[in-house]
Every structure is written in structure tokens, then in C-alpha cells.
Amino acid sequence: MVALQLQSVGAYHGRKLFVENVTTPVMKSGEIVAVIGPNAAGKSTLFKRITGLLKGPGNVVVEGSKAKNAIGYMPQDSSANAVLTVYESILLARKQGQSWAVGDSDLRFIDEIMTALDITALAFRDLGALSGGQRQLVSIAQALVREPEIMLMDEPTSALDLHRQVEVLDFMRRQARAKGMLVLIAIHDLNQALRFADKVLLIANGRMRACGTPSDVVTTEMLREIYRVEARVEKCSLDHDHVIVDGTAH
């Protein structure tokens, strides 16, 4: 069982404190935590602070893990070597930080992830020849084959069509439950957050505004104040909350 808690965490961009004083409840294995907020709210910056790519005050507390690379990170924009094939790039991600000897278990696990993401047909395509959505699926595979205990995914479905978004988020929820993985997903689609997340963390203007269950965080009042829209939050046919936007707030 792995757990993550942020205690008065901030993050610097240069000398400017861009994110400050983020304190969360304990986030645990098997949970999906949706990190939401307007553009430039600080979501990506917070992820970089958690991974250690940015410095800042406060404590990122990871409990229950002895792994050196407990935290995996899928950035919003990945810079992959375009001359590699899809399979080569995923194999390279799998062996990063390990012995370069490739075993049958490595190959089986890679095949399992590629099959689940429906990208086996892309195996021998060059990365540079892929569409944006295809590259995003490959980036998800690269992150998953490292088998992190805590996964940070920055807008992992932004380039995917609606069908693929639902497939990928459902797969991530199943992976979290089956592997005991804690998954934090920065996402703009509030309806997907309401559907798949166990907790929602709201960031605005570099500060945490709320953290709790989806129904506690995503409210009509919050949508008006933070997103400046007039909207209703109602139950859909699947019995989870759904945002219906009526217009912009003035």
C-alpha cells in the first residue's frame, strides 16, 4: 500500500512561487485523483514539483514504498526520439534504470499493455509518423510499462477522440485497482473527472481550492466562481454526476 500526501507544497518557476501552500488529504493506492482547474492554474507545475523537476517549499510525503522510482510521470508534451519505432520506445521505457537484459516477462508485459491500449498495429511504425492521438497512446504505454506505484498523468487524453478517452480512463481505473497504483490525472473534461475519479483536487491561481469527492468539489457555485460558467450538476443515466453548461457567467 502506497500513499501520497502534500504538506504546504509550493513550486518555483525561476524566482517566482507559482504554486503555493498545497496541502492534501492522504491519497492512497487504488485511487484515481482528478486534478482540475482553469488553464494556467498550476496543475502541470504541481506535478513537476511532486516529481522533483521543480523545487519549492513544503513536503511531498510518500509512504509505503521502498522503490527508487515510485513516482511515474507522463508530461503533457513528450519529446520522444522520432527515429525509434513504437515498440523500441516502449521497450526502452521498460528498461530505463534497469539492467538492459530483456527477458520474456518484459516482452509479455509490453505486449499486454500495447494490446490493452490497442496499439499493437503501430509496433513497427516510426514515432515521427504517428498522429497526435497515437503518440499520446504510446506515451501512456511508456509510462505504464515502468510499473510506477504512483502515476502522474498530465492531460493524457487531450488528443484522443471521445471513444478512446473513455477506453483509456476506464483502463487506468482498472489498472489502479488491480495493481494497487495511485493515479493522479490532470484533466479539463469535468464530466470525465466526475465519471472516473475517486477524489477531485481543484487548483486555481496556484492554490488548492478544494479536495474531496467529485460531488463535493464540482458544484454549481464552484463552476460559476472558478470557471465562470452558468451550469447545472445533475445525475446521468449511469448515476454519476454530469455537468450541463447553460452559458457563460457575467
Q: Is 136 in the same domain as 152?
A: no
CA pair distance 181, 72, nearest whole angstrom: 10
Q: Is 10 in the same domain as 131?
A: no
Single out the residue in 120, 146, 172 at which a domain terminates. 146
The pTM score is 0.93
Assigned C-alpha cell, 176? 489502479
- Residue 180 forms part of a structural domain: yes
Assigned C-alpha cell, 112? 499486454
User: Percentages helix, strand, coil for the chain, rounded to the nearest 5?
Assistant: 35, 30, 35
Q: Is 1 in the same domain as 115?
A: no
- Residue 243 forms part of a structural domain: no
Q: What's the domain range around 181?
A: 1-70+148-221
- Residue 104 forms part of a structural domain: yes
Count: domains in the chain = 2
Q: Say if residues 230 and 249 touch (Cβ distance below 8 Å).
A: yes
pLDDT in tens, the chain (250 residues): 899 999 999 999 888 999 999 999 999 999 999 999 999 999 999 999 999 999 999 999 999 987 767 899 999 877 666 789 999 999 999 987 666 778 888 899 999 999 999 999 999 999 989 999 999 999 999 999 999 999 999 999 999 999 999 999 999 999 999 999 999 999 999 999 999 999 999 999 999 999 999 999 999 999 999 999 999 999 988 888 999 999 998 7
Single out the residue in 146, 173, 198 at which a domain terminates. 146
- Residue 242 forms part of a structural domain: no
Q: Fill in the amino acid letter for 32.
A: I
- Residue 226 forms part of a structural domain: no
Single out the residue in 92, 122, 146 at which a domain terminates. 146
